Amino acid sequence: MKAKYIYKCLMISFAALLLGSCSSPEVDAKFDQNATERLSGRQKELNDLLLSSAEGWKAVYYTDSTQLGGWTHLFKFLPEGKVDMASDFDSDTKTYTSQYDIQVGSTVSLVFTTENRIHLLSNAADYPTAGLLAKGYLGDFQFYYYGQKNGDIIFRTNRNGHFLRFVKATAQDWTDLPKNTPIISNITGDMTSPLFRLLEINDGTTTKSYDFDYNTDARFGTGYSLDPAVNTSYDLAFSFNPTGAYSKTPLDVKGQKLTDFLYSSTDNTFVATGKDGVKATIKYTNAPPIVTDDYKNFVNGKPQMVLGYIAANLYTAPTTSDYFRFLITKVNASLPAAQSISRIQVFFNSAFGTYIEYRFNGGKPSIYHNLTTTENSANKTLVLVHDSWDDGAALIAAPAFLKDIDAQFTNPIGFYIKKENFKISFSNVIYTMTSASSSFRMTTYQL
Amino acid sequence: MKIFKTYKTVVIAGVLLLASCAQEDQPKESQLDFSVPVKTDLDKWIGTNFLDPYNIAVYYEWNQNLVDNNKYLFPPLVSKVQPAMEVVKKIWIDSYSTIGGANFVKKIAPREFVLVGGVNLNTNGTVTLGLAEAGQRVSLFQIDNLNKKSRASVTQFIHTIQHEYVHILNQTKPFDEQAWSKLTPSGYTSTWYNEATATSRSLGFITSYARLNIYEDFAETAATILTSSKAEYDAILAGVTDATAKANIKAKEAIVVKYYKDAYNVDFYALRDEAQKNTDAVINN
């Protein structure tokens, strides 16, 4: 009997469950449409939006403003999944066509599906700092549709979820894009541009200088205080426009946030101006921000010191300047094929006086330039003054093929000499000789 | 009676079950977008040359599900896709079809090619040229850099495909792994990328990458022979001065040749000659 009752109870409760389960099929809908309809609706909405702007869209893409600047991109979306694109990533600001797609996954995303300018930011093999090896410029080209705000389209980038804003472009934006290139060249400089950059910050009453360490590829720079007691630094993440640079990370001076650095062609500076005399200036200088007294070991009357540039090890040194390399290459080009400069050794206060030895590969004998030195204690430089040339046996006329490079050594304003704190290939101390009047800098071993 | 009662309950329950949801809306047409995307000329070319005859899909448009999202890679230039796939067709498919039979590649082949424009650079500085996943998908990198007129460029590119295809053949029919692993057991290393090619050859390996494990060793040995002319391969052997190393490379070569014969009835040297003939045709046209 017991089992029968249990069975009956079970059957009744089963029937009750069955009857009850569909008793109220109506569920309060949270949305007017189901998930699929909403996703495909978003897909169509985004595509219509992209196609709606006649002059396309502009996006200044900051991939990571803690270490990189921004790159301006212009997009014009066309029917059949085509897109025209231009960018100021390099001097090629021309427009190229590729394909795009609105993909649906967990949400709707815009994907640039075939190669164009935006993909330059995600090239593993092209990275601006050693820390970004295999990561390129940390760029994405798949952007999740987040919404619209004031006519702009807001996306979130695929890998790091940063916000990216597409703003409606104008015809002016397309004509202006190539004008970013000369501005970028001004801050990048060339081989004859002074080697050092300063960030001068005027807070309305006093001006403080910062050593501005700027990476032209990364479009990112940091100003370090020249006063060892002050531990302040300023990061600037630049993007460019036809009038100057914009920093996404503002420079905070007395509560004022400076972001727009206008280029001044008269003195080759970038200046951000605030209220009440507040100003920040980025400028080039031939004088190192921090000048050392290291030159004093080389003045008259000191013991012999020999500084040797050895081509095989020091041509590629990071402290060897492009202008120095240019002059070396020029000398080598004027020599027969098998010959080239192997060393430039500067002997200070030797038994034979002070002189430069130009040493060659390929059996060509050395040439010596005999000099005297004078000290400029105000500038903290050492000036090398011409005396005579010889070939080790007899006096000779000044060799024409060494004229340009030698003129740098005997420039009347002289050299900054700095003992560096790094080593290259050997344990020898590294010294750099930096011209006070040009971008000529030679890296040497103390021999 | 008891049984009848039991059945009655079951019948009532069944009727209720079937009838309970009868008034629900029936599904309408699918809400998914099944419209066929616009096909470009390139899509049509891929259809005619890979999808229809060999059932191989070629993906050149970006799909993040097909690549490693931790890598900074990008899709190829559209203009580079067809030239690259022509090289694949001519040197890889045509060579195997001629020597192994018209259906060889139709039966055993990766079903998907994923093309990537950029270099797959790893954080240890090495470069991954290709990947074969589960015998189904082959990813090819650096499509943008392929120069059809340069033998070195074509050889490196086709080496990647030959290498990955050897993996797929091995995954279908294994080679004599025991015999292979006895030849140079001590030379394998996970830091193969620090080793010079000459050093690796003096230890009995055809390339440094071959030193990763016996499977890479087999694939590298086969792919190197397939992408070299007889004279080029002889020159490689002639450059190996260590007699044991040379003997080991030759022993590996013998296992490769035997594998192709036993597993697939393919004359490996004829395949090599055909691939070389087709390589010449690609470069000279």
Whether A149 shows a pLDDT value over 90: the answer reads yes
Tell me if A181 sits within 8 A of A88, measured CB to CB: yes
Q: Which residues of B touch A134 (CB under 8 A)?
A: 71-72, 121-123
Gap between the Cα atoms of A145 and A111, Å rounded: 10
Is residue A63 one of the residues assigned to a domain?
yes
How many CB atoms lie under 10 A from the CB of residue A357? 16
Whether B29 shows a pLDDT value over 80: the answer reads no
Q: Please compute the mean of the pLDDT values over residues B30-44 and round it to a whole number.
A: 82
Instruction: Give the number of domains in chain A.
Output: 3
Domain boundary among A169, A203, A232: A169
What's the sign of the alpha-carbon dihedral B146, B152, B155, B161?
Answer: negative
Q: Please compute the mean of the pLDDT values over residues A296-301 and round it to a whole number.
A: 92
Which of A11, A18, A124 is opposite residue B71, by nearest beta carbon? A124
At A117-132, the pLDDT tens digits run 999 999 999 999 989 9
B-contacting residues in A 200-219 (Cβ below 8 Å): none
Query: Which of B35, B165, B5 is closest to B96 using CA atoms?
Result: B165
**Chain A closest-CA separation from residue B118 CA (Å):** 6
Structural domain including A209 reads 182-285
B-contacting residues in A 141-170 (Cβ below 8 Å): 141-142, 158-159
Is residue A16 one of the residues assigned to a domain?
no
- Its ipTM equals 0.84
Q: Please compute the mean of the pLDDT values over residues A357-369 and round it to a whole number.
A: 94
Nearest CA in chain A to B25: A25
CATH code of the domain covering residue A259: 2.40.128
Query: To probe the interface with A, which of B72, B81, B119 has the most A CB atoms within 10 Å?
Result: B72
Query: Which of A57, A56, A50 is closest to A102 using CA atoms?
Result: A50
Query: Which of A81, A135, A89, A87 is closest to A112 using CA atoms?
Result: A81
At A34-53, the pLDDT tens digits run 888 888 889 999 999 999 99
Whether A3 shows a pLDDT value over 90: the answer reads no
First to last CA, chain B: 91
Is residue A420 one of the residues assigned to a domain?
yes
Whether A255 shows a pLDDT value over 70: the answer reads yes
Quick one: pLDDT at residue A24?
62
* Same domain (yes/no): A305, A439: yes
| A90 in contact with chain B, both atoms CB, cutoff 8 A | no
Query: To probe the interface with B, which of A114, A144, A158 has the most B CB atoms within 10 Å?
Result: A114
Q: Please compute the mean of the pLDDT values over residues B227-252 and round it to a whole number.
A: 93
* Same domain (yes/no): A132, A255: no
Q: Which residues of A touch B60 (CB under 8 A)?
A: 114
Q: Which residues of B touch A26 (CB under 8 A)?
A: none
* Same domain (yes/no): A54, A147: yes
* Same domain (yes/no): A130, A270: no
* Same domain (yes/no): A190, A110: no
Q: Which residues of A touch B43 (CB under 8 A)?
A: none
Q: Which residues of A touch B73 (CB under 8 A)?
A: 122, 124
Tell me if A207 sits within 8 A of A223, measured CB to CB: no
At A204-214, the pLDDT tens digits run 999 999 999 99
Quick one: pLDDT at residue B4?
67
Which domains does chain B possess?
Answer: 41-284 (3.40.390.70)
Domain boundary among A252, A268, A285: A285
Query: To probe the interface with B, which of A104, A119, A122, A133 has the most B CB atoms within 10 Å?
Result: A119
Q: Which residues of B touch A19 (CB under 8 A)?
A: 16, 20
Cα Rg of chain A (Å, integer): 33
- Percent of chain B at pLDDT > 90 equals 74
Q: Which residues of B touch A5 (CB under 8 A)?
A: none
Contact B38 A80 (CB under 8 A): yes
Is residue A354 one of the residues assigned to a domain?
yes
The DSSP 8-state label assigned to residue A131 in this structure reads G
At A178-214, the pLDDT tens digits run 999 999 999 988 888 899 999 999 999 999 999 999 9
Q: Which residues of A touch B17 (CB under 8 A)?
A: 18
Contact A113 B78 (CB under 8 A): no
What's the sign of the alpha-carbon dihedral B105, B109, B113, B119?
Answer: negative
Is residue A387 one of the residues assigned to a domain?
yes
Whether A83 shows a pLDDT value over 80: the answer reads yes
- Residues of B near A (CB-CB distance < 8 A)? 9, 12-13, 16-17, 20-21, 23-24, 31-33, 37-38, 60-64, 69, 71-78, 117-123, 125, 144
* Same domain (yes/no): A442, A298: yes
- Percent of chain A at pLDDT > 90 equals 78
* Same domain (yes/no): A50, A153: yes
Quick one: pLDDT at residue B3?
64
* Same domain (yes/no): A198, A139: no
> And the tokens for A421?
């704190």
Exposed / middle / buried, residue A106 (Cβ in 10 Å: 0-12, 13-18, 19+):
exposed
Mean pLDDT over each residue of chain B, to the nearest integer:
90
| A129 in contact with chain B, both atoms CB, cutoff 8 A | no
Which of A22, A101, A111 is opposite residue B20, by nearest beta carbon? A22
Q: Which residues of B touch A15 (CB under 8 A)?
A: 12-13, 16
DSSP string, A179-197: GHHHHHHHHH--TTS-SEE
Domain boundary among A285, A310, A334: A285
At A317-333, the pLDDT tens digits run 989 999 999 999 999 99
* Same domain (yes/no): A120, A55: yes
At B140-167, the pLDDT tens digits run 999 999 999 999 999 999 999 999 999 9
Which of A40, A122, A134 is opposite residue B31, by nearest beta carbon? A40
Quick one: pLDDT at residue B126?
87
- Map residue A322 onto helix, strand or coil: helix
Whether B89 shows a pLDDT value over 60: the answer reads yes
Nearest CA in chain B to A13: B13
Gap between the Cα atoms of B25 and B23, Å rounded: 7
Is residue A15 one of the residues assigned to a domain?
no
Contact B72 A11 (CB under 8 A): no
Query: Which of A132, A164, A129, A120 is closest to A146 using CA atoms?
Result: A164
* Same domain (yes/no): A377, A324: yes
* Same domain (yes/no): A420, A338: yes
| A11 in contact with chain B, both atoms CB, cutoff 8 A | yes
Tell me if B113 sits within 8 A of B138, measured CB to CB: yes
Q: Which residues of B touch A113 (CB under 8 A)?
A: 61-63, 75
How many CB atoms lie under 10 A from the CB of residue A390? 16
Contact A11 B119 (CB under 8 A): no
Number of H helices, E strands in chain B: 13, 6
Quick one: pLDDT at residue A190?
86
Q: Which residues of B touch A125 (CB under 8 A)?
A: 118-119, 121
Is residue A136 one of the residues assigned to a domain?
yes
Contact B13 A133 (CB under 8 A): no
* Same domain (yes/no): A122, A141: yes
Gap between the Cα atoms of A298 and A417, Å rounded: 9
- Map residue A254 onto helix, strand or coil: coil
Nearest CA in chain A to B60: A114
Mean pLDDT over each residue of chain A, to the nearest integer:
92
In this prediction the pTM is: 0.83
Is residue A439 one of the residues assigned to a domain?
yes
**Chain A closest-CA separation from residue B17 CA (Å):** 7
Quick one: pLDDT at residue A218?
95
**Chain A closest-CA separation from residue B226 CA (Å):** 29
Q: Which residues of B touch A101 (CB under 8 A)?
A: 61-62
> And the tokens for B22?
């009868």
Q: Please compute the mean of the pLDDT values over residues B262-278 and round it to a whole number.
A: 95
Q: Please compute the mean of the pLDDT values over residues B233-249 and round it to a whole number.
A: 93
Tell me if A212 sits within 8 A of A282, measured CB to CB: yes
Quick one: pLDDT at residue B201?
94
Whether B119 shows a pLDDT value over 60: the answer reads yes
